[in-house]
Structure 1
Amino acid sequence: MLLSNTASIVLCLLTLAFSAAIISLRFYLRLHSRNKFHWTRPDVGIIVSLIFQSLTTVVSLLILLLPPDPKRLVWLFDTVLVLYIFTLWSIKLSIAFFLVQLTQQLDRAHKIARFALYTMWTTFVVLTIELAVVFLPVSMLPGQAKAARFTANFWTGVALNVGTDMMLIATPFFALSLLTEKRTRIAVSVVFGLAAIVIVISIVRAISMSANGVDCDTLILVLSHFEFAAGVTISAIPVISGGLTRIYLRGALGNSENQALEIGQGSQRATHRSEFGSLGAGSSCNHILSDVEQVVPDRCMKS
């Protein structure tokens, strides 16, 4: 084993907690935005992915904590494989739905995003069929297919996983490359960097499984959880970036409004002081008022 069971348990729990924290921050910023909160397809996809990731963590802990039993380990690893695919594709579909929403005003990019979304659904169906074939009883398959089905299904899944990741990277690239705002460019760079990390993790995980899956079982479980956490972060970065930008702008706008209000109040005080100063004891207005007060009693006495 490349990692101890204790270290693997801690890393699996930490990645699950990290994913939950990122998703919670995402929904917190959505709830406190100016627009009224409503559920969208990306939101549903990311919540479903968190549910599947939680189930994957539970099964992984069973693998790491229970005494080794060959039959039980085979069943648990098969369960992890199914949950792994469902978790990853929930994240991919959430990102694809978001890209469709993001590119609604751009005809060409919107068509590419819709094509990517249809591709995600197609690959998900293909992988589901592959899983059904993998779990068929050995007696139902021809003799030559018994040895080749696992290898073919494994590398097909790896190719579809890496290929769909690259498609999700390429889909918004041309539209986002036109952005000039510094914060947005930083967020986009982080997204592309994390996407590249996800691809590297997928390849390392596949190589580890193909080379020696028995000795690398803990490493495979940990890499799977890292892949989940990176995918959740990628799906949440645009929402978190937009929410934090809105909070920053509100704070800046509030400070500017307070400064303007203080300036206005100060100018009003200065105006009142100048008016009161012009009505002092030696002012011409006071002389005129005193003359009028003197004339009025004289006229009353004459009358």
Structure 2
Amino acid sequence: MAYSIFVIYPMSNITDAAMPDLVLSELQDAICTITLNRPDKRNALNADVVRELQAAFDAAEQDDSVRVIVLTGEGSAFCAGADLAYLQAINTNNVMENAEDSASLMRLMYSIRSCVKPTIARLNGHAIAGGCGLALTCDILIAVEDAKLGFTEVRIGFVPAIVMKLLMERAHPGHARELLIRGNLIDAAQAFEYGLLNHVVSAERLDDTVYGIAREIATETSPQAVSMTKQLLLDIAQRDLEGAMHFASRQNAISRETKDFGKGIGSFLKKEKPEWKE
């Protein structure tokens, strides 16, 4: 199935028409697709890419017409982590410069992880080091069969610090520890077995699977209920069992006062299908 898409957010201030934006943002049917656009560099990260990604996600989250955000990469890779020039630059940074640079990456990953709108990582190829961490910020991860994933930081003397919490949330602790300490890559089937991926599909089925799920969320679920569910998932992860149950009970009561609850229950009782829009 083909999906026609049009650009809605320019993410770069570059005026030279020969230089493409590093990040593209496109919208169709309430689904915003954010694309890393450095195929010649395997969509590797640098400070400019991080800034443009942050701007793209901020814009999509604030746009009431967006129900679902899809993150992907142009070309054959999803994201190969930090590019060589970027690594050379941070190797010469002072402590304050490295602290700010690290904080920028952390803010990006946290903002995606805590985004009130559902996020889907469309892994069209390898997701390595920070690129794998970037994918793990999303709610649902869907990868092609030949994709490889892993955290190779320790093999170049780096520490996979920012991505660690994201990995520990999804993978079995034993698998997570091995991946972080060995710095090895695993194939998509093994990543699925470890819990990193939700779906593994052929390249031919990638778009049908990704956008099929995205359209299902966009048309079949309540925006308010999904947003509150995402926030609740984030909040209860920081609480013990009793605290989480009490907090969830309060949120359950609050949800019953929302406009979407009234609409959804009313439609259900009338045996009608609610039409969900922002």
What is the TM-score normalised by the length of structure 1? 0.24
Structure with greater strand percent: 2
What is the TM-score normalised by the length of structure 2? 0.25
Larger gyration radius, structure 1 or structure 2: 1
Q: Relative CO higher for 1 or 2, CA cutoff 8 Å, sep ≥ 6?
A: 1
Structure with greater helix percent: 1
